Structures are given as structure tokens and as C-alpha cells.
Amino acid sequence: MIAFCQVSTAAHFSSASRRLRRTCCRNDTLTVGAPFCPTHRRNRVEKRPGTGVSILLPIAEERPQSRISPTCTFTPEKPARVAVLVSGGGRSLENICEKIDAGTLTCCGVSLVIASKKTAGAIEKAERRAIPTSVLRLRDFERDTARFSDAISNVLDEYNIDLVVLAGWMHFYLIPPRYEGKVVNIHPSLIPAFCGKGYYGHRVHEAVLEFGAKVTGCTVHLADNKYDHGPIILQKAVPVLDSDYADDLAARVFEAEKEALPEAIQMLVAGKLWVDGRLIRVRSESVSKSV
């Protein structure tokens, strides 16, 4: 007979093994194992001499912890240089600029707008504010994502960008190491629901309604090299009403986005965010940033 028992710590081994030993014959194999824990990726087996008992213990792996905010101290006199990547009309771009003008989003300024098509309405909005613009179209790179992403990164380098905001950006940006932790995305649902490749714009809201979800919202997260996958900075919930059509729901979710995205940007430039595995920790006070 093979008997199994889970223990939370090695300290609980003795009592667990005694209880099981009473139900096992001398030649039976007794294994005492650790419970599943997401932070435990490997296990080790300890054999206890003279007992016929093996104990399965987790090897805890330390989760990486690092500050994710940009690497300079940002002040009103030395604001973070923000690039906004857009594919459409630029409503989120306009919202960010208005928050900066009103003084509710501080220590940063929009220094560059990159559009994925020449007809994007965001270009006109940027030009009215004398913000430099660049148009990079995927088709001009033979739909090669790597070359397209390299071109984006090169333009960001040219303008010494500190923080990249994907605001209605419809293409995959392959983030190089030098911009890891410096790219933020906003998605119009509560990740991990209704997200991933193919979920963008009205498609998200239509999927929410078709599924019959009662709550949706928006998510601001650090972007990584997977669709809608990086650690979540903040989320705002929006109720789904029985009378909603996709346009109705999209309008209410965008109102939540107008608050969520500037709030996340403010926390980033203030140096309040730390990454701990997939968790982002928020500090109530600004922390010093290493140069």
C-alpha cells in the first residue's frame, strides 16, 4: 500500500507520519508531501532513516523583486518624457494631455506620438499641441513584427523616452530589454477576462455582452511580450446593464479608462510601484530612484 499525506511545513511531518504509520504495514511506503503553492516550482524528497518514510518538501524559489518605475528622479522641472502609441482618434492621448494641463497628472509630459497609420486622428491632436509625431506602418516592414518593433524602439531612443503608453495601439510591439518595465498598456476589460490576441476595441465589449457578464471594466498593466499579459497596475470595474449595447458599454468603460490610465502613469513616474513576481506592489510614499 502507498499512502500519501500533505503537510504545510516540515514541522508537521512527525505528527502526520505517526498517524499514517498506524494505518500502514511495516513494508508499506509512506510519502508525506507538501501542498501545491504557486511560488513553489520544484520539490525535494527527504528519506527518514529507519522509518520507511519519505517526505516531499517544496523548494521555495524567490520571486524577483525590482522597482519598475523609470530610472531617473522626475520633478516638475525635470518631467518624464512620455511617448504615446496610437492607432485611432487619440481620445486617450487627449485625455492624458488634459490631465497634464489641469495639473492632476504631474512630473511628466508627452514628448512623442507614434501612430500606426497616416489617417489616425491622434496625429492632428498631437500637431495642435506641437507634439512631435512619427508614423510607422506595419505593412512598410512587410508585416515583420521584429523589424517593425525595432523601428519603434529606435524612434523612442531618438527622443530619449522614459515611459511608453500604448493607448489604443492595435499592433504587437516586441519590447526590447532596455524598455522592459517602461511600457504600459490599457485594455478595455478586467484582465484576465476578454483579453488576448484578437480582443480589441468593440470586439471586447461585444464578447462581454454575448457572454452575459455582469461586470466589466478596464485594466492598466505593464506590457510584456505577450498579449495583455503583464503585471496589473490597477483595474476599475464597470457594471454591465441589461439594456446595454456595445456602444453603451464602450462609452462607460472609456470613462473609467480616463481615470485609470493617468492614475497609473502618475504612480509610475512617482516611483511608487514595485514588481513582485506577477504582483505589483504600491507604496504610499514616493521612493528614491537610482540613476
Residues annotated as catalytic (active site), given as ranges: 187
- The pLDDT tens digits for 111-152 are 999 999 999 999 999 999 999 999 999 999 999 999 999 999
SS3 149: helix
Which helix (H) or strand (E) covers residue 40, if one does? strand 40-48
Which 8-state DSSP code applies to residue 36? P
Domain ranges of the chain: 2-60, 66-282
- pLDDT value, residue 47: 65
pLDDT over threshold 90, residue 286: no
What is the average per-residue pLDDT within 219-239? 96
Question: At which residue does the C-alpha cell 506595419 appear?
Answer: 138
- The pLDDT tens digits for 162-214 are 999 999 999 999 999 999 999 999 999 999 999 989 898 899 999 999 999 99
Q: How far apart are CA 245 and CA 251, in angstroms?
A: 10
- CB-CB contact of 75 with 162 (8 Å): no
- CB-CB contact of 37 with 63 (8 Å): no
- pLDDT value, residue 128: 97
Cα–Cα distances (Å) from 233 to 101, 157, 162, 276, in that order, read 24, 25, 18, 12
**Closest CA relative to residue 153, chosen from 132, 175, 186:** 175
Which 8-state DSSP code applies to residue 239? E
Tell me: domain 66-282, CATH 3.40.50.170, correct?
Answer: yes
